[in-house]
Structure 1
């Protein structure tokens, strides 16, 4: 019976369209791998900007479309402007691409050639223009939201938050509790730093509206982790919701990293005692000033804990290279205790027995990967949904410490030791180990994510 089902799916094509940022490409390609493992044919339509490495996915068909983003624009650190441009520039190219794909199927019917029918479009929620394109072609659209449920609820609440004067954020109100979204404070709201608030509110509003207009919402989470948030979401969004995460536990996808991973750090971890190393990585977009970088360096060194630190190009504002920034005597002081790389194979690092803590920016992929490996966190969010995730890690799930003030070496040293060697950290390790068990159970047969994936497959066949 299962073989018959898989044969049926092999006659169905799915078009997936990711947002071209690292934290969005990863889960979309993981979702593609999950669906391909269930028998569907996969077409990845993508922008030329930050295009994924197709050689890692030989079973997928990759189709690039023009995005109207010049090299100069792509180098800008203004994520809001980039997303706004993409939502305008990609509409016609995506529509033309889908018309060709749908036409290819029609022609194959008339010529009796094998060609899978396109069942639906699955697009990133932030690429809100795709709903209008799909509607125009009478093609169902499913939406992938790549962050936590709670952060999406916060975005959906923007009109109310503006009405009640939580937004725009005032420096004098940062510590004020947001009573509509407990346990968030004003400083935790998922805003992008910008002078163009009108564009931000338009982008968020369009994203939320077009999710509500879609045929279903796919989430990279599991029911136990965000139960109360999911209850609120299903009340507010009258569409099918599919919680099928953690994606990387359902199907370990090939690497979709846009940066080259340095595998040498695994050999270094092999030489360290169990649970002794704190892994430090702030993802592909977060950055800091030189003074904060110096405080980080000395805080890590003074903690006396072994550390693996990802120091990528662009981590420090206005500096592509970090070598000249090391403080005098720092590299000598950390010899044998510290390993510094430009990018790391994060899932392998977090799964390594030597790693006992993760100092993170709390992007959702990183947060979920840390939970899935039973690794407690030191939270230092930077922008967007990261502040919401950090508040939940530290105050709801209680599996991390929140660095809420400006980075200062003594504070860094104290919190690393709290996490890595003190009883407080051990208690967090026990709580996150329990969440790890729940995550693993969710993707097994009969688990909530397993069942939700079956419901998603049934939804695709209903189109």
Structure 2
């Protein structure tokens, strides 16, 4: 290959919104350096990009940036909503895509010097190996999810999967100790004297703190040398002095008719603790486990069958991705250093170059000396009227609620969500994506219109929003999110506190990082009803508003430092650029096909 020819890089994403967004931003970052870029879309997605964006005009500023299309292996009239992308991984469908990719690489001119492909497209590694093309895998989900996925075989071997007890400690995922320690450090080991398992709730008065303790789903662990009466039990756990909320605990209102013993606690003869009687006026403090298996992605931990198709796919593609020349992750050393260190034990050449949306803005601003315009590579039509509505709202007064491009919900869930927002008294901007509400034909449109009419003075509902522009609007004070990794990072960059309602895949892990490690939001976990949501919105927007705003601003500062000159992501991108140039020198000028 002639040294004066620009390196030619082919990008190939999984054809869903969440996978395409960071991939095309990375393509633009490399185009800024003068690389020749071929961005490979499916026919269906490229038509949607042309329909809903000015994508051609935006990328024509980069000489050598070209879009090409390939089949997704499905008929043109096949539905492509929800979890349709799983059909791509069926053997016959995948074979069609693989064949199309190979034909393109053989015939493309100039030849491709390096491929950057989504880590879930494992067949691309086979094609690259056959044709002698260097390949880099881009894992668009969170590094924590990547590492837990990589660790699934070890967890199965250790008997920790499938998970039966959601409160049991996972011990076989090195690097996750920082998440566990965040909880452990807030607790003090203690022993409470209680009664036997006759109630789902246990209310105990602690004379040292003058607080009422509430426990649920505790395990009873007796020491052999303790002498108990038939009604007495020892309850062991962590006592948290902080009065923090968790939907795993039962409060007095929830206990209802299932009344267990609540009166005096009898001191056994072997105990030297002086336990006082319960004080009915004491406000309850909650006791919770130090860690929970929620940090393992929901789709994996709750599956009863470890032969589940999705689990096998995730594990297979995760393990295969480390066979590539390198691995790209959308994060920063400043944000997730410990996890990155663990990943590098299995894949030494890791480029942490995130948050990619912020890194692109930083590079464009530096190159052109102007503020980067938020260009949206959306597959849905954006309703930008919400920006005008936000312009009329006070600073940090609006809760923005959006649940991504795949999440669906029932009509009942939508109504609970709406009531929670309305009852919080906070202004809100709610996104209800077309065809995202499960119900009868036409029912979604009717219920959305009805909800909009009922709260038009307090809220605004759109079917899709320009999310980065919304999050960076001064009127937005919190982000109610499904905790997809792109949305999470966009919230971090914008410095907006989050209320996390995770749905599937890496979202449970992401929400735990947001709430327990970064401390820039709250985690709703499994249940979203109007009371819980109302309480959480009030906590983020009123009760702890300044606390969360300060934490979110600090995280935004770290993210900004990482993408600025001298920052880790800025430097890692430079290293990636130089390594691609080096790969290009070693790539054959012509692919020989036998």
TM over 0.5: yes
The root-mean-square deviation of aligned C-alpha atoms, in Å, is 2.3
Counterpart CA distance in 2 for 1:307 and 1:349 is 12
1:6-48 deviation per Cα after TM superposition (whole angstroms, max 9, x unaligned):
x978622111101101000000000000000111111012222
| 2:391 is the alignment partner of 1:384 | no
Distance 1:14 1:456, change over 3 A: same
Counterpart CA distance in 1 for 2:390 and 2:154 is 48
Counterpart CA distance in 2 for 1:406 and 1:9 is 58
Cα pair 2:402 2:480 within 8 Å, conserved: yes
1:46-445 maps to which residues of 2 (within 5 A)?
Answer: 46-51=41-46, 52-53=49-50, 54-55=55-56, 56-58=58-60, 59=62, 60-70=65-75, 71-72=77-78, 74-75=80-81, 77=83, 79-84=85-90, 87-101=94-108, 104-105=109-110, 117-170=111-164, 173-181=165-173, 182=176, 183=180, 185-192=292-299, 197-238=307-348, 240-252=349-361, 254-318=375-439, 321=442, 322-326=444-448, 330-422=451-543, 424-445=544-565
Higher mean Cα deviation, 202-211 or 367-376?
202-211
Counterpart CA distance in 2 for 1:76 and 1:447 is 37
Q: Number of paired residues?
A: 439
Counterpart CA distance in 1 for 2:95 and 2:404 is 27
SS in structure 2 opposite 1:258?
Answer: coil
Gaps of 5+ in 1: 1-6, 106-116
Q: 1:110 matched to which residue of 2?
A: none
> Normalized per residue, which structure has more helix?
1
Distance 1:62 1:319, change over 3 A: farther
- Tell me by how many angstroms 1:442 deviates: 1.1
Cα pair 1:66 1:93 within 8 Å, conserved: yes
1:111-138 deviation per Cα after TM superposition (whole angstroms, max 9, x unaligned):
xxxxxx5220110001111100000000
| 2:578 is the alignment partner of 1:449 | no
Counterpart CA distance in 1 for 2:7 and 2:441 is 45
Counterpart CA distance in 1 for 2:106 and 2:316 is 24
Cα pair 2:298 2:508 within 8 Å, conserved: no
- Tell me by how many angstroms 1:320 deviates: 6.4
Cα pair 1:375 1:432 within 8 Å, conserved: yes
Higher mean Cα deviation, 443-452 or 54-63?
54-63
Q: 1:108 matched to which residue of 2?
A: none
Cα pair 2:7 2:580 within 8 Å, conserved: no
- Tell me by how many angstroms 1:270 deviates: 0.6
Q: 2:365 matched to which residue of 1?
A: none
Cα pair 2:501 2:511 within 8 Å, conserved: yes
Q: 2:368 matched to which residue of 1?
A: none
Cα pair 2:484 2:507 within 8 Å, conserved: yes
Larger Rg: 2
Counterpart CA distance in 2 for 1:122 and 1:327 is 43
1:276-335 deviation per Cα after TM superposition (whole angstroms, max 9, x unaligned):
00000000101111211111111111111000000111221245652322597x445422
1:53-110 deviation per Cα after TM superposition (whole angstroms, max 9, x unaligned):
4524334211111222133353563543344465443111101110011xx33xxxxx
Distance 1:166 1:82, change over 3 A: farther
Counterpart CA distance in 2 for 1:76 and 1:218 is 26
Q: 1:41 matched to which residue of 2?
A: 36
Counterpart CA distance in 1 for 2:441 and 2:327 is 38
Counterpart CA distance in 1 for 2:412 and 2:82 is 22
SS in structure 2 opposite 1:224?
Answer: helix
| 2:132 is the alignment partner of 1:12 | no
Given candidates 25, 50, 65, the residue that maps to 2:20 is 25
1:425-463 deviation per Cα after TM superposition (whole angstroms, max 9, x unaligned):
321211110111111111111111111011101110121
The two structures have a TM-score, normalised by structure 2, of 0.70
SS in structure 2 opposite 1:352?
Answer: coil
- Tell me by how many angstroms 1:420 deviates: 0.6
Q: 2:188 matched to which residue of 1?
A: none
Distance 1:256 1:9, change over 3 A: farther
Counterpart CA distance in 1 for 2:463 and 2:66 is 30
Gaps of 5+ in 2: 181-290, 362-373, 584-594
SS in structure 2 opposite 1:236?
Answer: coil
Counterpart CA distance in 2 for 1:47 and 1:141 is 20
